[in-house]
Structure 1
Amino acid sequence: MEWKNIYRGLVMGISDLIPGVSGGTIAVVLGIYDRLLAAISGFFSKEWKKHLGFLIPLAVGMGSALLLLSRVIEYLLEHYYGPTQFFFMGLIVGVLPFILRKAEARTRFKTVHIVVLLVAAGLLALTAFLRTDEAIEPITALTGGTAIRLFFSGWLASMAMLLPGISGSFVLLILGAYSTAIAALSSMNISIIAVIGLGAVVGFIVSSRLIRYLLDVFPSVTYAVITGLILGSLVVIFPGVPAGIGLLAVSAGTFVAGLLIAVLLGRRE
């Protein structure tokens, strides 16, 4: 068992609780993105046993973060929204050199790849202007219609989670299911957690295999899209210019902290 994956799972789980922050980006920061895709797709094959040592500790960490820290994240976003978002912005900026090295961008990226990168960044940045305030009350009891809706919400959110730059929780927010998911985690509403979780599992299976195929067959274009999505996510999670010298200083500090963590982990990888 790779027990150090518990802390990796904790970090990924925390990121998946925050709209705009991508668990896929955090997997890149931690240097496990390729292995994550291989393990998820391989788990549903004849060689599933060899991936358990990687996936079980990761799942324990992510599950612990989702169940234990949902209220902490709610508190930080409510009382320290700006500094928290700037920390994740630092992580995102810090991961870009690692991604570009991995893509061998200096030698492989041509004009078409730059165009693809900019288009991907622009499209994701536009989602920042989508309406994300949920007027719908959290769902607390399942019906046939709400179960189907939450299942497909979990499916789409998990597909987004595996793409660096796209936040699964932001997808839930757009679909009007984020408050339901957070409320279910906070109150341990097992039936709703199970429905969303089942959809997430299906999404992981489909998307992990698709992304691996694209990285194998079209690596430069795929890395250009991933780089663009990471850049575009900065616009999505930017909380605005901090008001006041004190808040500006704290936000700058959290940004630098996130940046240094990402750069150090990228160099280690």
Structure 2
Amino acid sequence: MEWRNIYRGMLMGASDVVPGVSGGTIAVLLGIYDRLIEAISGVFSREWKKYIGFLIPLGIGVGISIVSLSKLIEYLFEHHEQATLYFFLGLIIGVIPFLLHQANYKENFKGSHMVFLLVFAALVASMAFLETGEPEAWEGSLSTGQMLALFFSGWMASMAMILPGISGSFLLLLVGVYETAIQAVSQLQIGRIALIGAGVAVGLLISSKAIRYLFKRFPSHTYATVIGLVIGSVFVVFPGMPGDLILCLITFIGGLLVAYLLGKVEY
């Protein structure tokens, strides 16, 4: 068992509950993105035993983080929203140099790669202009349509979670089930959690195999796409001009510093 994955999973879990921040982005920063995709894809194969030691501690960390840190993040967003977002902004921007280094962009990126980068950056950045008003959480028994909605929401969110730059929580906001999903986890509503979990499992299986294939067949174009997704997420997370300039500057620099230090440790 790779028990150090518990702290990695906690970092990924903390980011996944923040709309606009991707767990995949954190996996890139931690230097485990390739292994994560391979393990998720491989755990559904005959060689599943070789991947369990990687995934179980990671899953434990994600679970601990979602349960224990969700209230802290909720508090920070309620009382220091801008400063918190500037921290994540620094963290995301700090990931970009690592991605560029991994892609060896100076040698591998040509005109077509830059087109991919710019197009996907624009697609993600456009999410900043989408309406994300959140309706009330669903109460009482669920209709068949609501059950299907939770399943497919879990499917979409899981695919987004392992794509750097796209936030699963943000997609849940867009489709209007974020509050329902958070309430299900906080109140341990087993039926709803099972529906979302089933969607997550299907989404992870399909998306991990697709991403693994793309990295093997088209590595430079895939890296260009991922970098574009991360750059685009900067515009989604950006909270506007800071009200408390000093505090936001401190948290932004703190995010950059954390990205740098984690990169040094992991690489």
The Cα of 1:180 is off from its aligned counterpart by 0.7
Secondary structure at the residue paired with 1:69?
helix
Deviations 1:85-123 (A, max 9, x none): 111111111111110111110001011111111111111
1:89/1:234 contact within 8 Å kept: yes
The Cα of 1:137 is off from its aligned counterpart by 1.4
1:70/1:185 contact within 8 Å kept: no
Counterpart mapping for 1:48-63 below 5 A: 48-63=48-63
Cross-structure match for 1:6: 6
Cross-structure match for 1:77: 77
CA distance in 2, matches of 1:105, 1:124: 21
Cross-structure match for 1:233: 233
The Cα of 1:143 is off from its aligned counterpart by 2.5
CA distance in 2, matches of 1:199, 1:70: 22
1:70/1:186 contact within 8 Å kept: no
1:174 aligns with 2:174: yes
CA distance in 2, matches of 1:112, 1:97: 20
Cross-structure match for 1:208: 208
Identity %: 57
Cross-structure match for 2:260: 263
CA distance in 2, matches of 1:97, 1:168: 23
Counterpart mapping for 1:11-90 below 5 A: 11-90=11-90
Task: Report the AA paired with residue 227 of structure 2.
Answer: T
Task: Report the AA paired with residue 166 of structure 1.
Answer: I
Q: TM-score, normalised by structure 2?
A: 0.97
CA distance in 2, matches of 1:70, 1:184: 13
The Cα of 1:41 is off from its aligned counterpart by 0.5
CA distance in 1, matches of 2:226, 2:52: 27
CA distance in 1, matches of 2:64, 2:190: 15
Secondary structure at the residue paired with 2:211?
helix
1:249 aligns with 2:246: yes
Secondary structure at the residue paired with 2:20?
coil
Task: Report the AA paired with residue 113 of structure 1.
Answer: H
CA distance in 1, matches of 2:220, 2:162: 18
The Cα of 1:70 is off from its aligned counterpart by 2.1
Cross-structure match for 1:192: 192
The Cα of 1:252 is off from its aligned counterpart by 1.0
CA distance in 2, matches of 1:5, 1:233: 25
Count of matched residue pairs: 265
1:90/1:256 contact within 8 Å kept: yes
Cross-structure match for 2:113: 113
Deviations 1:154-198 (A, max 9, x none): 000100111100000001000101111111122221211111111
CA RMSD of aligned residues (A): 1.0
The Cα of 1:67 is off from its aligned counterpart by 2.1
CA distance in 1, matches of 2:64, 2:74: 16
1:92 aligns with 2:92: yes
Cross-structure match for 1:138: 137
Segment drifting more, 256-265 vs 125-134: 256-265
Q: TM-score, normalised by structure 1?
A: 0.96
CA distance in 2, matches of 1:10, 1:267: 19
